[in-house]
Structure formats: C-alpha cells, structure tokens
Amino acid sequence: MITTHADHVGSLLRPAELLAARDELAARHLDPAAFKRIEDRGVRHVVELQEAAGMPVVTDGELRRESFQSELTASCSGFSGVSIDAWLWGEWHSDAQGDLSVDRPAELAVTQPLRKLRSLAAEEYTFLRGVTGGLGKVTLPSPSLFANLWSPELSREAYPAVDDFLEEVAEILSDEVRELARLGCTYVQLDAPHYPLLIEARWREFYEARGWSTQAWLSRGIELDNQVIDAAPNVTFGFHLCRGNQGSRWLVSGDYEPIAAQVLGGIRANRLLLEYDDERSGGFEPLTHVRDDAMVMLGLVTTKSGRVETTEELRGRVADASAFVPLERLGVSTQCGFSTSVVGNAITEEDERRKLGVLAATAEEIWG
C-alpha cells in the first residue's frame, strides 16, 4: 500500500494556452494533432509544477478531460443530451462568488446500450508515466455517480432499471483499472462526491427518484465501488468525498456522520481523501468509522480561494484528528481538485503552487 502523507485530489488549473486550444479545436480552427501537442505540453507543465512543489504524488491534472467525470461519455456511445452542463448542473453556493443555478439538461440520459469506443484513462496514464519519475495517480469516477445519466423517462428501453445501467458502468470501470494495472499504474482514485450530497433532502429526492432508497445508495453504491477496487488487487486505491466543487462554489453542507458507517466503514479503499477545509465539513468524530487498515488524507487545504494555509495551522488540525485516527495513518491533502472541470476555481497558478508546497512541507515536518 502507498503510504505517502501528502496528496492532492487530482485536477489542476488548465493552462490558458490549453483552454484557448479547446475552443479552437471545437471551432475547427485547430486540427487534432496540433491540439494534442498543446495538450501534451500542458501536462508536462503541471507535472513540473507538482514536482517543483515537492509533491510525492503526481497527476496529469485531468487536463485532457472536460470534467473529472466526463470520460465515460467521451469513451462510450449510448448517451444523449451531454453538454458541459451535464457536469455543472445544480444549485451552487459561495459567499465570495455568489450563488449560481445551472439547469440539468432536459435530454441528458443513457438511451442506448453502452458501446465502449476507447479506454477512459489509459492514454492519460501512459503519457504521465513517460514524463515523471514520481508516483503517478489516475482518477476515475465512482460507478454510482453516473446515476445522473439514467432517466426514468428516457433510459428504460436501453436499461430497464438503474441497477442494470450501473452494473455495466462498474464493469467498464473494472476493465479500466485492470488495464491501468497492466500498464504499471499503482495508484488509482475513485471520486465519489455524490455520497455527501445524500446529507441534504433535495438531493436524496433526486437519487431516490432513480429507483433506490437512500440506504440502497449507501450500500449498493459502495458494493459497486468495491467491485472496481477488487478488480486490481495490487493497486492502491484512494477514495475521495466532497460536497461539490465548481468555480469556487459548493453544493451542500453537513457532517459526514449520517453516511460514515456505510461509506467510510464499508469502502475497501486504502486511502480516504476527505474534505475538511472549513466548518461545512463538521468535525473529525466520524473518522472513528474508518477501517483500521486505511489511511485518511485530511483535505485541510482549500482549493476554493487563494488563502494559503500555514504549516502551523495544518499541524494543529492534524493533531486534533489524531484523537480519532492514529497519526501514522493520517496525511494532508487538498479538499478537492483545483479545476473539477474546465471551469476552474477562482485562484491563480501561483496560489496552486504555494498550496501544494505547504502540503509537502507539512508532511515533511510531521512524518519526515
């Protein structure tokens, strides 16, 4: 098992050149080969940024994706109504940025049996492997996150029940981690921000309308996550929970306790990356539900603002958490990604660099 004590959730700010190139490609003013060269250059840049900050875990910043969760629809046919709003919809909140409401696309749904056209992340990892000597991590979405793409009105002909759809998604993701393992990847993270959404009634209603009770989402959903984890026994798995992260806004608030026993205690991941950057996350008490063989990466560093935390501040919060999880099983991380989609958070690359540096320095001070 990987035991590094500093980590980050995965996504990094897209370089301005890459964002401009995405628009040029969409307008057909740039050919795919030229776009790939710009994309590759962007990945090299963010890898160098992470290494210079002293991070022991390196990602490609998810720079090749529209959103952290978009690669299923990009790699498989069978979906309709997929636009950027498929990943951005909801009632978003921020005192600094103001609230924002994004409607769910009306035609968003899986409407035909899935047909896999390409790998989700093998290209990402193969390139990352070639440009870093560090520990490369690949992120993938939790299978049940994609319940968002099953519609009671539009999906039944392809998949009569949400169970049928999510079981196929879980198998696609299981195949993906087997391929990543074959390519030499030793660290995969499943992103599961939908579980904390169940803390709030309006989100419970949305998910229950897909066909499962809240308890079923917590139990059957974790079963599907564990199916993906079990597909690659020699790979270390991370598991990330947060309450929404888009454009420096958030979706819900609430303590982990209502979901802690089933999620924190049931997931067979080796490392839990948990949002803890402000009071919306509650206290550390739910960490008592974490399995004894799992590490907890405390998401103490916010990606939502340019405020740079100090090593002294982080050391104090780690000490508080060690009352519930032994110090040797703790680490420090960002609360979420810096750019969950192409819509990055309201921070600068220099903010990003300093925050990663604080994580690396804090881990060195505490754990050596």
pLDDT of residue 27: 95
- Look at residue 62 in the predicted model and tell me its pLDDT: 98
Q: Which residues of the chain have pLDDT under 70?
A: none
pTM: 0.97
Q: Give the tens place of pLDDT for each residue, 81-101.
A: 999 999 999 999 999 999 999
Q: Which helix (H) or strand (E) holds 135?
A: strand 135-136
Query: SS3 helix, strand, coil % of the chain, rounded to 5?
Result: 45, 15, 40
* Torsion (CA) 362, 327, 275, 179 in degrees, nearest 10: 90
% of residues, the chain, pLDDT over 90: 99
Three-state DSSP class for residue 80: strand
The pLDDT of residue 308 is 85
Dihedral sign from CA coordinates of 218, 220, 226, 228: negative
Beta partners for residue 296, in sequence order? 272, 330
> What pLDDT score does 54 carry?
98
- CATH class held by domain 16-367: alpha beta
Q: Report whether 345 contacts 247 (CB < 8 A).
A: yes
DSSP string for 193-232? THHHHTTSHHHHHHHHTTT--HHHHHHHHHHHHHHHHHT-
Strand 100-102, strand 90-92: pairing = antiparallel
**In this predicted model, what pLDDT tens digit does every residue of 291-344 receive, in sequence order?**
999 999 999 999 999 998 999 999 999 999 999 999 999 999 999 999 999 999
Residues β-bridged to residue 236: 187
